Chain A
């Protein structure tokens, strides 16, 4: 295995060496099917981008396919196709990075900020395996591309305020771009007190505070070659989680990478990009601010990842080939120390993630073939080798309580295939896809030790013997345009075998005081997940546009139980006015009654809700400088509501007035 990695590295450096002769630059390919959310600040083009300074989480929430699972007002967990973190592949610019919290309090999206990113690429199902294996899809948080545009120095200042929670945001950005060199540095600070749910009900422990610094630099080695480095440092302190029994005193990430890219127009290899990266996360849970807890405890966690990728795009006749060779090594460690109420008793200690080392190497190949002007087919395959190792003997011995036969290492081979057909005309387009994918269990699913889940009130125990979860997937998408009316229908269906989920083991007594019992991770024979969305758009005029989206989701396991966290009927409608220097939008957003809730997995019925939002935006030019002001009211009617995705039914924000300003000095 090690030899293989060495081989991969040498290939990577060979690639760098190979690409020495400089050639003119080509335009970036855009894949038609993927959904992209533009995040970059100070771009006023996107009508849905009502808040320039909103968090990544809030941006993601605007996507049709994504729901954010909320445990508080910070660090929401994205769910794509009704599947969460374990089933998704969330990356930062193709880099693997894994949260350090055993209770999913730190999804990766919480460690970057809008100031770091250009866009978020969301790909459904097996379309999303470019960077790693998944069954649900991928979310790639992409940083800004190279800026060798010789614009000189640019400074921008950001400030935002929201009334609900007394939420303050300030940001500062310096950017210099020359012909051969650029740097982009930014800093952003966010602080919020407890927010109020509808009817001025304060939600205790919903405060947070964080800052994020980033520095991106690039140097042009020759006309076709660049070398770039990127450093992101993110630190959140005093983060409350009202839906959980513990808060977070520190969530800290350092994300670094160095990238070499080569571009050429005249050769078969159009581009070659290689990256080496390292990231480290420290996450410390804290219950010192909670007055009543059955027992005081400390739960720190760490996650370090080292990795590389090397990807190439090739074009030959009708073939557009994308190759991606990548690998990573992750170390996940989490522990728990409990302090007994009886001071004569010693501290109680256990490893909740017993130092799990994950090694992965794989190759992805995708070919997109243009059959003719209107039709194209694509096929992709990813093959990978995945190995988990329990590095702590104590951890191995702990897990042997439940699984006496396990060894310290477990290796898997993972596969993924997909095929897609696209047909596009001016007034009509359609695509059909089919896929098969596999994923390895996550660290929690495989190796977690008494992980308390406050959602269903059970302790969870990992199972290293879990088989790979497999998914067969069908998807279809079609869009019609009749003059001013646009209609779109998209749907996907997943048939998952060995669906990993926790099952109650009545013979095991819970560890957490007050928990209902213990669930061992095991696999359902199969599960089905289906979603369908109808999107409508109507242009009243050049400036006034109506958009709406309604969605239906379904999920059931082979045990005839509803799956948890499946969205009920949802809808969004919006009328927007967009002029060059002013925009406005009125939104209606809601969910139907969650009738197909999963009491078996700890859910209860969440009633229907609807809220109204109003967003406004202005842009002013002062000399050569630009001032962007975004303001509005969220939840105008101050509705007190929670959605199916709110952990333990915590109420969402009530009425909120906000203003975001960005001042750009050229």
Chain B
């Protein structure tokens, strides 16, 4: 019994000791564990783009940004930034689903956003981003091309629904799937015009995960994807019984339960025409 108290005292003393050794003046490295994707440079500022891998891939990408004043190397803490990613096609150009750029709460220099590239050229070319930003009442902008590489698996798909609207469905989570029940998060967007891809609300997406390598084995206790207003995403329980290659077969229904895209998986039909892929 006494040992327990001794441990507690030891533990507390170790904690207090370690606290006091912290150097409060040390510069806080806010981009720890992040890798730089690219710098966007104009005469006044450099916008630095980061994420966990340092590359853009097709599908869902989370981006962390900061704006450096080229003159003094200080990071701007009060910028208002908007952006527009654009894909240049031979005959036209279009954008993709993306979020607004917001300041990360609790960080002094960092901003965040996400973007979903639905396609890319084979060599990764075609995309560019324009940032328009305002610092202390002055407007600035910068544009540069970026490289978007093709993901190994289909984690995003763009398709025409039976209502003649073009939609985009993308896998957002799980990033690191487990054997077990995963929180599946999927984004659903519609193409309002070439440059606008708002979230679609209150539709539903039927889910049927399969393993083609195991005779199209399915898994039990999955739920269908339903819309969550708090993060404007679609959520479901996805159970994966083993590691490997999985196909998430989907069927998209609108808010009046009309089928917009996808089919049931049967003996004859191994895969729905609307699907996402996952591997772990």
On whether the beta carbons of B213 and A345 are closer than 8 Å, the reply is: yes
By size class, the interface of chain A is: 20 to 34
On whether the beta carbons of A511 and B214 are closer than 8 Å, the reply is: yes
Tell me the smallest distance from the CB of A412 to a CB of chain B, in Å: 25
Report which residue of A341, A508, A509 has the largest number of chain B beta carbons within 10 angstroms of its beta carbon: A509
Nearest CB in chain B to that of A397: its residue: B180
On whether the beta carbons of A349 and B244 are closer than 8 Å, the reply is: yes
Residues of chain B within 8 A of A508, CB atoms compared: 220
On whether the beta carbons of B243 and A349 are closer than 8 Å, the reply is: yes
- Is B178 an interface residue when CB atoms closer than 8 A count as contact? yes
Q: Would you list which residues of chain A between 385 and 444 have a CB under 8 Å from chain B?
A: 394, 396-398, 400-402, 404
- Is B245 an interface residue when CB atoms closer than 8 A count as contact? yes
Tell me the smallest distance from the CB of B276 to a CB of chain A, in Å: 16
Residues of chain A within 8 A of B219, CB atoms compared: 401, 509
Q: What is the bound-complex CA distance between A349 and B244, given in angstroms?
A: 7
Report which residue of A345, A351, A518 has the largest number of chain B beta carbons within 10 angstroms of its beta carbon: A345
- Is B179 an interface residue when CB atoms closer than 8 A count as contact? yes
Residues of chain B within 8 A of A295, CB atoms compared: 213-214
- Is B217 an interface residue when CB atoms closer than 8 A count as contact? yes
- Is A340 an interface residue when CB atoms closer than 8 A count as contact? yes
On whether the beta carbons of A401 and B221 are closer than 8 Å, the reply is: yes
Nearest CB in chain B to that of A513: its residue: B215
Residues of chain B within 8 A of A507, CB atoms compared: 220
Q: Would you list which residues of chain B between 201 and 235 have a CB under 8 Å from chain A?
A: 211-215, 217-221
Report which residue of A341, A511, A514 has the largest number of chain B beta carbons within 10 angstroms of its beta carbon: A511
Tell me the smallest distance from the CB of B261 to a CB of chain A, in Å: 23
- Is B241 an interface residue when CB atoms closer than 8 A count as contact? yes
CB 8 Å contact bits of B68-79 with A (1 = contact, 0 = none): 000000000000
Q: What is the bound-complex CA distance between A275 and B238, given in angstroms?
A: 49
On whether the beta carbons of A341 and B241 are closer than 8 Å, the reply is: no
On whether the beta carbons of B243 and A348 are closer than 8 Å, the reply is: yes
- Is B132 an interface residue when CB atoms closer than 8 A count as contact? no
Given A347-B244, A350-B179, A397-B181, answer yes or no on A404-B221 (Cβ-Cβ < 8 Å): yes
On whether the beta carbons of A346 and B279 are closer than 8 Å, the reply is: yes
- Is A111 an interface residue when CB atoms closer than 8 A count as contact? no
Q: What is the bound-complex CA distance between A396 and B181, given in angstroms?
A: 10
Q: Which of B179, B212, B213 contacts A397 (CB 8 A)?
A: B179
- Is B242 an interface residue when CB atoms closer than 8 A count as contact? yes
- Is A450 an interface residue when CB atoms closer than 8 A count as contact? yes
Q: Would you list which residues of chain A between 494 and 508 have a CB under 8 Å from chain B?
A: 505, 507-508
Residues of chain B within 8 A of A293, CB atoms compared: none
Nearest CB in chain A to that of B280: its residue: A346
Q: Which of B221, B239, B241 contacts A450 (CB 8 A)?
A: B241
- Is A342 an interface residue when CB atoms closer than 8 A count as contact? yes
Chain B residues bordering chain A, tally (CB within 8 A): 22
On whether the beta carbons of B243 and A350 are closer than 8 Å, the reply is: yes
Nearest CB in chain A to that of B211: its residue: A348
On whether the beta carbons of B180 and A400 are closer than 8 Å, the reply is: yes
Q: What is the bound-complex CA distance between A349 and B180, given in angstroms?
A: 12
CB 8 Å contact bits of B7-18 with A (1 = contact, 0 = none): 000000000000
Q: Would you list which residues of chain B between 166 and 180 have a CB under 8 Å from chain A?
A: 178-180
Nearest CB in chain A to that of B208: its residue: A509
Given A507-B220, A511-B241, A511-B242, answer yes or no on A348-B180 (Cβ-Cβ < 8 Å): no
Residues of chain B within 8 A of A509, CB atoms compared: 217-220
Q: What is the bound-complex CA distance between A347 and B214, given in angstroms?
A: 11
On whether the beta carbons of B242 and A400 are closer than 8 Å, the reply is: no
- Is A338 an interface residue when CB atoms closer than 8 A count as contact? yes
Residues of chain A within 8 A of B180, CB atoms compared: 394, 396-398, 400-401
Nearest CB in chain B to that of A340: its residue: B213
On whether the beta carbons of B220 and A398 are closer than 8 Å, the reply is: no
On whether the beta carbons of B243 and A346 are closer than 8 Å, the reply is: yes
Q: What is the bound-complex CA distance between A349 and B239, given in angstroms?
A: 15
On whether the beta carbons of A401 and B215 are closer than 8 Å, the reply is: no
Tell me the smallest distance from the CB of B225 to a CB of chain A, in Å: 18
Q: What is the bound-complex CA distance between A340 and B211, given in angstroms?
A: 10
- Is A510 an interface residue when CB atoms closer than 8 A count as contact? yes
Nearest CB in chain A to that of B245: its residue: A345
- Is A294 an interface residue when CB atoms closer than 8 A count as contact? yes
On whether the beta carbons of B239 and A348 are closer than 8 Å, the reply is: no
Given A350-B179, A397-B178, A508-B220, answer yes or no on A338-B241 (Cβ-Cβ < 8 Å): no
Residues of chain B within 8 A of A511, CB atoms compared: 214, 217, 241-242
On whether the beta carbons of A394 and B213 are closer than 8 Å, the reply is: no
Residues of chain A within 8 A of B244, CB atoms compared: 338, 340, 345-349
Tell me the smallest distance from the CB of B256 to a CB of chain A, in Å: 28
On whether the beta carbons of A346 and B245 are closer than 8 Å, the reply is: yes
Residues of chain A within 8 A of B178, CB atoms compared: 394, 397
Nearest CB in chain A to that of B179: its residue: A398
Tell me the smallest distance from the CB of A604 to a CB of chain B, in Å: 25
Given A345-B245, A348-B244, answer yes or no on A514-B179 (Cβ-Cβ < 8 Å): no
Nearest CB in chain A to that of B239: its residue: A401
Residues of chain B within 8 A of A350, CB atoms compared: 179, 241-243
Tell me the smallest distance from the CB of B237 to a CB of chain A, in Å: 9
Residues of chain A within 8 A of B279, CB atoms compared: 345-346
Residues of chain B within 8 A of A341, CB atoms compared: 213
Residues of chain A within 8 A of B239, CB atoms compared: 401
Q: What is the bound-complex CA distance between A658 and B241, given in angstroms?
A: 49
Given A340-B245, A398-B179, A511-B241, answer yes or no on A348-B213 (Cβ-Cβ < 8 Å): yes
Given A507-B220, A511-B217, answer yes or no on A401-B181 (Cβ-Cβ < 8 Å): yes
Given A340-B244, A350-B243, answer yes or no on A510-B181 (Cβ-Cβ < 8 Å): no
Q: What is the bound-complex CA distance between A341 and B212, given in angstroms?
A: 10
Nearest CB in chain A to that of B218: its residue: A509
On whether the beta carbons of A402 and B221 are closer than 8 Å, the reply is: yes
Tell me the smallest distance from the CB of A508 to a CB of chain B, in Å: 4
On whether the beta carbons of B221 and A338 are closer than 8 Å, the reply is: no
Q: What is the bound-complex CA distance between A417 and B221, given in angstroms?
A: 41
Q: Would you list which residues of chain A between 323 and 363 have a CB under 8 Å from chain B?
A: 336, 338, 340-342, 345-351
Nearest CB in chain B to that of A399: its residue: B180
Tell me the smallest distance from the CB of B203 to a CB of chain A, in Å: 25
Given A342-B213, A513-B214, answer yes or no on A394-B241 (Cβ-Cβ < 8 Å): no
Given A348-B243, A397-B181, answer yes or no on A402-B215 (Cβ-Cβ < 8 Å): no
On whether the beta carbons of B220 and A294 are closer than 8 Å, the reply is: no
Q: What is the bound-complex CA distance between A449 and B240, given in angstroms?
A: 12
Q: Which of A338, A398, A505, A518 contacts B213 (CB 8 A)?
A: A338
On whether the beta carbons of A347 and B243 are closer than 8 Å, the reply is: yes
Q: What is the bound-complex CA distance between A345 and B216, given in angstroms?
A: 14
Q: What is the bound-complex CA distance between A514 and B214, given in angstroms?
A: 10
Q: What is the bound-complex CA distance between A362 and B247, given in angstroms?
A: 49
CB 8 Å contact bits of B174-200 with A (1 = contact, 0 = none): 000011110000000000000000000
Residues of chain B within 8 A of A518, CB atoms compared: 220
Q: What is the bound-complex CA distance between A336 and B243, given in angstroms?
A: 10
Nearest CB in chain B to that of A348: its residue: B244
Q: What is the bound-complex CA distance between A664 and B173, given in angstroms?
A: 72
Q: Would you list which residues of chain A between 512 and 565 have a CB under 8 Å from chain B?
A: 513-514, 518
Residues of chain A within 8 A of B212, CB atoms compared: 342, 345
Tell me the smallest distance from the CB of B152 to a CB of chain A, in Å: 10
| 9 new A-B contacts at CB < 8 Å, known A400-B180, A402-B221 | A338-B244, A340-B244, A345-B279, A346-B245, A349-B242, A402-B220, A509-B220, A510-B217, A513-B217
Residues of B within 8 A of A (CB): 178-181, 211-215, 217-221, 239, 241-245, 279-280
Q: List 30 A-B contacts (CB under 8 A).
A: A295-B214, A336-B242, A340-B213, A340-B245, A341-B213, A342-B213, A345-B213, A346-B244, A346-B245, A346-B279, A348-B245, A349-B242, A349-B243, A350-B179, A350-B241, A394-B180, A397-B180, A398-B180, A398-B241, A400-B180, A401-B221, A401-B239, A402-B221, A404-B181, A509-B217, A509-B218, A509-B220, A511-B214, A511-B242, A513-B215
Residues of A within 8 A of B (CB): 294-295, 336, 338, 340-342, 345-351, 394, 396-398, 400-402, 404, 449-450, 505, 507-511, 513-514, 518
What 7 A-B pairs have minimum CB-CB distances, sorted nearest first?
A: A397-B180, A348-B244, A340-B213, A350-B242, A509-B218, A513-B215, A401-B239
